[in-house]
């Protein structure tokens, strides 16, 4: 799982719905919605649907699969922004 960028030609979307993120992470949809509403996890909306970046979800899955103890909110706040091209990690803004 080193390549976290989906191939658009293969039909993979850059975004995932909450239900797919919940299935991949083994969490309930309500847990995902709480993380989104709190602003801890990156997301967007299209109409009534909440969508998460596939790279974020797959990165989190890879961290968990590596066997390390992972705090998902901490991953979202520190590791995730550093992996997004053009983004600035929160500690670098201060």
The CATH number linked to 52 is: 1.10.1660
Give the C-alpha separation, 94 to 86, whole Å.
Answer: 17
Nearest Cα to Cα of residue 17 among 35, 32, 37? 32
Instruction: Name the residue range of residue 42's domain.
Output: 12-86
Q: Within a domain: residue 6?
A: no
Using an 8 Å Cβ cutoff, are 35 and 22 in contact?
A: no
| Within a domain: 65 | yes
pLDDT, tens digit, 9 for 90 and up, residues 69-81: 999 999 998 887 7
Q: Say what the pTM is.
A: 0.74
Is residue 28 included in any domain, yes or no? yes
pLDDT of residue 85: 55
Q: How far is CA 54 from the centre of its chain?
A: 6
pLDDT tens string 14-67: 999 999 999 999 999 999 999 999 999 999 999 999 999 999 999 999 999 999
The pLDDT of residue 84 is 58
Q: Given this model, what pLDDT does residue 10 score?
A: 55
What pLDDT score does 88 carry?
46
Q: How far apart are CA 63 and CA 57, in angstroms?
A: 10
Is residue 29 a contact partner of residue 22, using CB atoms and an 8 Å limit? yes
With respect to residue 54, please indicate whether it lies within any of the assigned structural domains: yes
């Amino acid at each position: 799982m080193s390549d976290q960028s989906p191939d658009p030609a293969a039909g993979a979307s850059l975004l995932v719905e909450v239900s797919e993120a919940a299935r991949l992470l083994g969490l309930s949809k309500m847990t995902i919605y709480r993380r989104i509403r709190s602003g801890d996890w990156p997301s967007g909306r299209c109409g009534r649907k909440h969508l998460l970046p596939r790279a974020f979800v797959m990165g989190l899955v890879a961290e968990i699969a590596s066997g390390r103890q992972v705090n998902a909110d901490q991953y979202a706040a520190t590791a995730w922004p550093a992996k997004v091209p053009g983004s600035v990690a929160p500690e670098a803004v201060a």
